[in-house]
Structure 1
């Protein structure tokens, strides 16, 4: 993406260039229609900036800056290989881990709500059926996610299967004193009494402002995926139970465009998020658990790494978690590395 097609303006400059007195979101859309690849309108409203990029658009709230300071910082981030959305997040940061907030739409971003003490998530099993969930509970795990993906040909029988497995998972987790997160199907989960749900950012965006408000009104604990700085800045506004950082290492579980975060980005996430972070992606062996735990993350997600018999693998994984936490990384990077190649569309 050419740097000369990334437009960074004040509101007055944007109105002059667009030939309109519209608000910042409309101005940005007009400038992109004129050929800009990305638009940042600095100080657009109430001390916030508006960004419109190929990956994310919204209000960016953090420390106030001049247009020139923001532009210089953003150009430096672009030169380091960050895509415009992440470069804008970095440009808004006036300290190494002072992450700004990014809205989901045209509503101003909400500040994260303070939370009281919560139990550590520790080893976090992700399973695809109620039967497998019972197996990991019997092995002793107490943080689980039921992830049943909806097929393109889902019918009434599939929906009944989903409801059966969610209902069984809710019952089994309540009996075991375990924390359950249901992936994706938040309305079914809420109707059947689940206390937690995990959603990816595309699903959360698709809900719109009203849908996200309805989700939050349920009171369910929310887990949110994040792979980039703009996703991390956006996730914080929902005051989630945790934010997942991934993929830490290359993974075959999902086909994704993201570069591996590595321990450097994971430890940066832990410091910048201001709330619990879980590590996910490519965590297959005890040594992966140990290294991830050294970052200070609250939980370590295991999918294939539990193997066919979690009773046999769990002791080694628990020992690795404890070993990693007892030998934390010696330092946290001041800045992350890009999690998308700069040529990503």
Structure 2
């Protein structure tokens, strides 16, 4: 018996033209393999060129639909679209509270205030109801820039370009109580060749970027994006990762849109969007829209696989690993709580000695963290974590990119993968693949399924790290497509004894059949509603 699909309720309007509203929601839910319950809140008479009538359903009719679903098909996520009036907004707010009293529920609010054809869907009283009742309950709200300004009670003077999306998002969080905000920008051609969405979530803030789709067929884009977010949340993803998947699915839906009348045709979401590397967006580290879209990684032309990747804590251990025929190493020396001058001098000597030993052996050495010192001492490569890179700021990251150092970057989630890709890395580490005690972290184990997905989708070679304690795991990681596999504790006291078996396992894994790549990864962080 197959497992029950996650359930999303969409409380929204019909579209007699089949382009937007519940029609678009259904197509997107099918693409995610999520079950959609389409709850009609309003009926619209519309075609591809005009909306000629909007008729909100009586609240008792909406409630009858919800009561029918409540116990048989309770949702993991609820998405709102066109609601039609104050009474309908009030009803939805009551039901969100009712459902949350029984368990976790993600709420995605798509503030459908008007149609792309120009028809208005919300009067001032309805707008105030959104502000007071839905935004404070929202897990994610998905306005475009004009809708965001309206929800804040501001007029977007000067057009879309004058509305700073980051400031609008933070104001919606601070003044309206939304937990996460995604301000969509696909409708703003003034952004140029890239379609830019700003996300502000508890996990991360930044621009999500993909090349703008050259198509007139965009009907239902906003509905599709919000439903994709709801589907990803229903699958257990946190808002930042859900936004990445929504961006991918919506871009693919735009690509497959087509004419169905005299005006803009509907977008068409399809299964398989999660396996197209070109759909993986880039994410900025801050408000500066720097992405490197289309740039090759510094590892793209590297012919040498990273293979067995030894992580050691001293120059002496570097020499031991080299003697065991390891040719990719990381020198990771932990910084004490209060580093003094003697420690800094010792660190410099360890890096200097490690660099010299690896250069003599023709091996690749990545120095962990201390990139400026590593550069000064002749290192060619460094490894940095996401927090370290964030702390550098825009100027520091530019200096790092311009230094010529090859860069390895840790990634644990989809948004971290998208953010790291902007720095043209030599490799992207995926971890922890298995549970690890090496360091405390909030991440769930990636497992072989996520590792295989990373290897298929990442724009640079992938290194598997975390919890690798026996040779069989090295073989499995190689079968996922990992370019390098990290050895830390498994090296033991005598690498010459342990390394041959690990290298044989890597060779066997590369010769064996590849492990399957899932349509989507699984969540790597627990969602908190």
TM tier, smaller: over 0.9
In structure 2, what is the equivalent of residue 27 of structure 1? 168
Alignment of structure 1 residues 20-59 onto 2, 5 Å? 20=154, 21=156, 22-34=163-175, 35-43=177-185, 45-46=191-192, 47-59=195-207
**Matching residue within 268, 275, 282 for 2:460:** 275
Alignment of structure 1 residues 63-78 onto 2, 5 Å? 66-78=221-233
Question: What TM-score does the superposition give when structure 2 sets the normalisation length?
Answer: 0.64
**Matching residue within 255, 258, 274 for 1:96:** 274
Gaps of 5+ in 2: 1-104, 108-137, 157-162, 213-217, 253-272
- 1:107 aligned onto 2:288: yes
- What is the alpha-carbon distance in structure 2 between the residues aligned to residue 128 and residue 215 of structure 1? 23
In structure 1, what is the equivalent of residue 131 of structure 2? none
Paired residue secondary structure (2:143): strand
Contact 2:179 2:202 in 1 (8 A): yes
RMSD of aligned alpha carbons: 1.4
Deviation digits for residues 79-132 of structure 1 (CA, Å, limit 9, x no counterpart): 010000000001011322331111111122222522424310000000111111
- What is the alpha-carbon distance in structure 1 between the residues aligned to residue 359 and residue 424 of structure 2? 24
Alignment of structure 1 residues 192-231 onto 2, 5 Å? 192-231=377-416
In structure 2, what is the equivalent of residue 61 of structure 1? 209
- What is the alpha-carbon distance in structure 1 between the residues aligned to residue 381 and residue 307 of structure 2? 16
- What is the alpha-carbon distance in structure 2 between the residues aligned to residue 133 and residue 112 of structure 1? 36
In structure 2, what is the equivalent of residue 138 of structure 1? 323
- What is the alpha-carbon distance in structure 1 between the residues aligned to residue 443 and residue 164 of structure 2? 33
- What is the alpha-carbon distance in structure 2 between the residues aligned to residue 192 and residue 208 of structure 1? 23
Question: What TM-score does the superposition give when structure 1 sets the normalisation length?
Answer: 0.97
Contact 1:103 1:237 in 2 (8 A): yes
- 1:13 aligned onto 2:147: yes
Contact 2:140 2:180 in 1 (8 A): yes
Deviation digits for residues 178-228 of structure 1 (CA, Å, limit 9, x no counterpart): 000000000000000100000000010111111000011110000000000
- What is the alpha-carbon distance in structure 1 between the residues aligned to residue 465 and residue 182 of structure 2? 32
- What is the alpha-carbon distance in structure 2 between the residues aligned to residue 327 and residue 158 of structure 1? 46
- What is the alpha-carbon distance in structure 1 between the residues aligned to residue 152 and residue 211 of structure 2? 27
Alignment of structure 1 residues 137-216 onto 2, 5 Å? 137-216=322-401
Paired residue secondary structure (1:62): strand
Paired residue secondary structure (2:439): coil
- 1:118 aligned onto 2:303: yes
Gaps of 5+ in 1: none
Moved more, 88-97 or 251-260: 88-97
- What is the alpha-carbon distance in structure 2 between the residues aligned to residue 10 and residue 232 of structure 1? 25
Q: CA deviation at 1:50?
A: 0.7
Deviation digits for residues 231-262 of structure 1 (CA, Å, limit 9, x no counterpart): 00111111100000000000000100000000
Q: Which has the larger radius of gyration?
A: 2
In structure 2, what is the equivalent of residue 326 of structure 1? 511
Contact 2:452 2:515 in 1 (8 A): no
- What is the alpha-carbon distance in structure 1 between the residues aligned to residue 376 and residue 153 of structure 2? 50
Which structure's relative contact order is higher, taking Cα pairs within 8 Å and 6+ residues apart?
1
Contact 1:293 1:328 in 2 (8 A): no
Paired residue secondary structure (2:142): strand
- What is the alpha-carbon distance in structure 2 between the residues aligned to residue 325 and residue 304 of structure 1? 23
Paired residue secondary structure (2:366): strand
- What is the alpha-carbon distance in structure 1 between the residues aligned to residue 474 and residue 482 of structure 2? 11
Paired residue secondary structure (1:19): coil
